[in-house]
């Protein structure tokens, strides 16, 4: 009889395993309005997540800090609406980074997905970003960047290579920036945008000591690591000091608790569980029959501690 996906009665499900009992830092979520963020914060706590590094507008930081105190650490959203005026773009974003740092921000978020690059021609090594990168490095802040999307999207939505280029093309500006700003800490969202190709990530991490990756984009990461569980487990153990736990959850009005708990459930099974379980998250890119699956990687206890907590303390330069 096939296994059934977990049911989230009243929005919550008991974590499938809880081998790690220490505090967890979610190093990549999206928060904005306090009332919208409260359900996410509550569900996160039920799954052991005590600290949230939230991507947020500069203008919303103080309200979130007032509501959640030191459990919330801001990652300020870079304003990418000023591209037509490079000088204004640079000045405004340097201002935002400095103002956010005064408010306790630990990083800044840059979105360079293939759609954005195709529409604007603006890449992660654009000269207008130089002073922003230098300011982040000076202040000890992290540049969190979304640099690529799933392989299955490049086979469908991004199949027009003349418009979107290849997936490999999107790593050229990333590598240029990593080499040009060796003191800038760059956090590659969503397993650096390439969980499908662990050898590529291994090469990037070996070449650039200022680069790390996070585990955000739950559905994508769980799918691709579950396809290659032995290789994924070996990679994570090998790179245990270079991976941050993150979900990319977005707090939004009208969300149900299971919108958040389902993602945290998948993460805790993926990292701590052993064997295959059905995923509660529908996934049109999944290749398994009937239902997407999550293959538990049963990571060692010391790796879980680094993934969930220790790496974030070191990476962001603070104690959670």
What pLDDT was estimated at residue 1? 38
Model pLDDT for residues 252-299, shown as the tens digit of each residue: 999 998 999 999 999 999 999 999 988 889 888 887 766 788 999 999
For the chain, what percent of residues have pLDDT higher than 70? 94
Pick the CATH number of 9-316 from 1.10.10.60, 3.20.10.10, 3.20.20.140, 3.40.50.9100: 3.20.20.140
In eight-state DSSP terms, residue 69 is: G
Res 5 pLDDT > 70: no
Report pTM. 0.94
Structure tokens at 206: 């070996």
What pLDDT was estimated at residue 17? 72
Residue 214 backbone dihedrals phi, psi, to 5 degrees: -120, 165
Model pLDDT for residues 217-244, shown as the tens digit of each residue: 999 999 999 999 999 999 999 999 999 9
Q: Which residue has the higher pLDDT, 120 or 14?
A: 120
Helix, strand, coil percent content, the chain, rounded in steps of 5: 50, 15, 35
What pLDDT was estimated at residue 128? 96
- Give buried/exposed letters for 96-115 (b at 16+ CB in 10 A, else e): bbbebbeeebbbbbbbbbbe
Tell me which residue of 222, 233, 187 sits closest to 208, measured CA to CA: 187
Domain ranges of the chain: 9-316
Looking only at the bridges linking them, the beta strands covering 211-214 and 107-111 are unpaired
User: Ranked by mean pLDDT, which of 24-33, 78-87, 281-290 comes out on top?
Assistant: 24-33
In eight-state DSSP terms, residue 239 is: T
Tokens 């969980």, residue? Answer: 195
Q: Which helix (H) or strand (E) holds 140?
A: none
């Amino acid at each position: 009889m096939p296994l059934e996906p977990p049911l989230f009665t009243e929005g919550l499900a008991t974590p499938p395993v809880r081998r790690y009992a220490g505090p967890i830092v979610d190093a990549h979520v999206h928060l904005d309005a306090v009332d919208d963020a409260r359900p996410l914060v509550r569900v996160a706590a039920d799954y052991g997540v005590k600290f949230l590094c939230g991507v947020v507008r500069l203008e919303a930081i103080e309200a979130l800090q007032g509501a959640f105190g030191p459990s919330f650490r801001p990652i300020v959203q870079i304003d990418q609406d000023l591209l037509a005026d490079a000088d204004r773009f640079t000045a405004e974003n340097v201002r935002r980074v400095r103002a956010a740092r005064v408010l306790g921000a630990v990083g800044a978020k840059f979105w360079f997905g293939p759609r954005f690059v195709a529409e604007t021609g603006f890449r992660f090594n654009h000269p207008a970003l130089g002073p922003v990168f230098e300011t982040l490095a000076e202040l000890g802040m992290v540049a969190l960047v979304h640099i690529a999307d799933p392989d299955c999207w490049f086979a469908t939505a991004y199949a027009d290579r003349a418009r979107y280029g290849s997936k490999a093309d999107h790593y050229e500006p990333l590598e240029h920036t990593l080499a040009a700003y060796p003191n800038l800490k760059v956090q590659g969202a969503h397993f650096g945008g390439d969980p499908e190709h662990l050898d590529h990530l291994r090469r990037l991490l070996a070449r650039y000591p200022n680069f790390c990756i996070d585990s955000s984009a739950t559905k994508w990461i769980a799918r691709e690591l579950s396809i290659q569980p032995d290789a994924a487990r070996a990679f994570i153990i090998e790179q245990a000091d270079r991976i941050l736990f993150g979900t990319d959850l977005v707090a939004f009005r009208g969300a149900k608790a299971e919108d958040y708990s389902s993602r945290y459930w998948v993460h805790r099974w993926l990292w701590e569980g052993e064997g295959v379980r059905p995923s509660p998250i529908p996934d049109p890119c999944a290749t398994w029959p009937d239902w997407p699956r999550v293959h538990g990687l049963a990571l060692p206890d010391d790796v879980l501690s680094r993934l969930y907590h220790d790496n974030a303390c070191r990476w962001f330069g603070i104690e959670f």
